[in-house]
Amino acid sequence: MTFDDAVEILYRLKTGVIGSRDVRHERPHKPVLLLAVFDGLAVGNARPDHVSWGEWLRARFRIYFEVVRSHNDECSPELPFYYLKSDELWLPVVATSCGELPLSTTPLARDLDTGRVFARFAEGWQMLVANPMYRMGFRDAIVSRFFPHCRPKLAAQFIEPSITAASNRVVIEEDRAGDILQGRSCAFRRRVLEIYDYQCVACGLRIWMPERELSFVDAAHLVPFSETRNDHPTNGLALCKNHHWALDQRLIAPDCSATWRVSRLVDSRRSRGEEELARLAGQELLPPAETAYAPDRSSLEWRFSRLLT
């Protein structure tokens, strides 16, 4: 298990989606519990091979949950404690007179602080989460992927001697920064391409060779990561390399209604390429199958405001 492998798993946590229409969103429970667990590891209230089901963990969960909760989210840490096992990340167990057994259901209130119920990280994870620097990277990845708009409030709650906050971002030692950002970048691309089924949202081009993990489609940020450190899929679009280039050059941009607009600098008389770009004007973006990942309105507005006129 490498750091990049771990970030990939974090970006693809099986969170589930809840709500309808404008309030449809990912459940925050699994990433919130991991933030609480990292705090426990930092202060010695947990070990990579023994994360106890206890009131301290529940209290840390509540602190983060109150920051990120939305709509009808219920504060139920027992759910992610049990269901994180589906993400190749850890195993919840119960100590019995016959030895340790996999936990068969969500832990109960009566199990709190008894020492009987705990979870252990999968073997490949244990070395990584024991390292404060990697925990710092995991926190940053979780916030970027799931809660970018809550970054300052979440960062203020982090417990880790080696982490400081500056300009609302986690400060990472230079020798590890490249590894951490590389893992994040690859994970963002894979997640966005999956959401859009490897199809360009401008022209519909789809080339995906799973045996080689080869696609002609890129994941483009609506608002650059350097601006907001936002890796939520609602800040991303799947674009073929031609339309990704045109977006970066500010020749095309979606407006707040998810309709393509084209810069007046594009002259369809000059070349077939510019003619194809010009025909994009007025067409709607191809939407993702899951509406919870549809482009965020504020991100669309930011991108449209940069279109060259």
Q: Which of 179, 213, 236 is the last residue of a domain?
A: 179
Mean pLDDT of 202-208: 96
- Give the tokens for residue 136: 């710092």
Give a yes or no: residue 191 inside a domain. Answer: no
Q: Let me know whether 42 and 165 are in one domain.
A: yes
**Number of structural domains in the chain:** 2
CB atoms inside a 10 Å sphere around CB 62: 15
pLDDT at position 169, please?
Answer: 42
Does 93 have pLDDT greater than 70?
yes
Residue pair 42/159 in contact (Cβ under 8 Å)? The answer is yes
Residue 170 has pLDDT above 80, yes or no: no
* Final residue before a domain boundary, out of 126, 151, 179: 179
Which is it for the CA torsion 281, 287, 291, 293, positive or negative? negative
The average pLDDT across 72-91 equals 95
pLDDT, tens digit (0-9, with 9 covering 90-100), for 99-122: 999 999 999 999 999 999 999 999
Mark whether 170 and 212 lie in a shared domain. Answer: no
Chain segment 8-54, per-residue pLDDT in tens: 999 999 999 998 878 899 999 999 999 999 999 999 999 999 999 99
Look up the pTM and report it. Answer: 0.90
pLDDT band at 279 (very low <50, low <70, confident <90, very high): very high
Q: What is the model's pLDDT at position 168?
A: 39
Domain membership of residue 214 (yes or no) is yes
Tell me: do 23 and 149 sit in the same domain.
Answer: yes
Instruction: Let me know whether 125 and 157 are in one domain.
Output: yes
On whether residue 55 sits in a domain, the answer given is: yes
189 domain-assigned: no
Is 84 found in the same domain as 233?
no
Q: What is the model's pLDDT at position 162?
A: 53
Distances (CA, A) of 1 to 16, 47, 123, 161, 230: 25, 18, 9, 25, 25
Contact 162, 176 (CB under 8 A): no
Has residue 178 got a pLDDT over 60?
no
Q: Which long-range contacts (CB under 8 A, 24 or more apart) does 131-134 make?
A: 132/42, 132/160, 132/161, 132/162, 132/163, 133/162, 133/172, 133/173, 133/176, 134/3, 134/6
164, pLDDT greater than 80: no
Q: CA-to-CA distance for 147 and 264, rounded, in angstroms?
A: 36
Nearest to 260 by CA among 298, 213, 215, 203: 203
Does 146 share its domain with 250?
A: no
Neighbours of 249 (CB within 10 A): 11
Structure tokens at 48: 């990579």
pLDDT for the residue numbered 308: 96
Per-residue model confidence (pLDDT) at position 177: 45
The owner of tokens 């669309």 is: 300
Domain presence at residue 190: no
Residues 223 and 290 in one domain: yes
Residue 269 resides in a domain: yes
Q: Tell me, yes or no, whether 188 lies in a domain.
A: no
- 206/279 same-domain check: yes
* pLDDT over 80 (residue 224): yes
pLDDT confidence band for 174 (50 / 70 / 90): very low
Question: Could you tell me if residue 62 is inside a domain?
Answer: yes
Q: Are residues 174 and 220 in the same domain?
A: no
Residue pair 46/52 in contact (Cβ under 8 Å)? The answer is yes
Residues 249, 301 within the same domain: yes
Query: Any bridge partners for residue 100, and if so which?
Result: 95
In percent, how much of the chain has pLDDT > 90?
86
When pLDDT is averaged across residues 238-244 and rounded to a whole number, the result is: 97
The predicted structure's pLDDT at residue 180? 54
Q: What is the pLDDT of residue 182?
A: 58
158 and 233 share one domain: no
Where b means 16+ CB within 10 Å and e means fewer, 14-40 reads: ebeebbeeeeebbbbbbbbbbbbbbbb
As a whole number of angstroms, the distance between CA 128 and CA 182 comes to: 16
Question: In terms of domains, do 205 and 98 share one?
Answer: no
- Token pair in block for residue 5: 């492998």
276, pLDDT greater than 60? yes
d(CA 308, CA 297): 20
Q: Which domain holds residue 209?
A: 196-305
Which among 149, 179, 209 is the end of a domain? 179
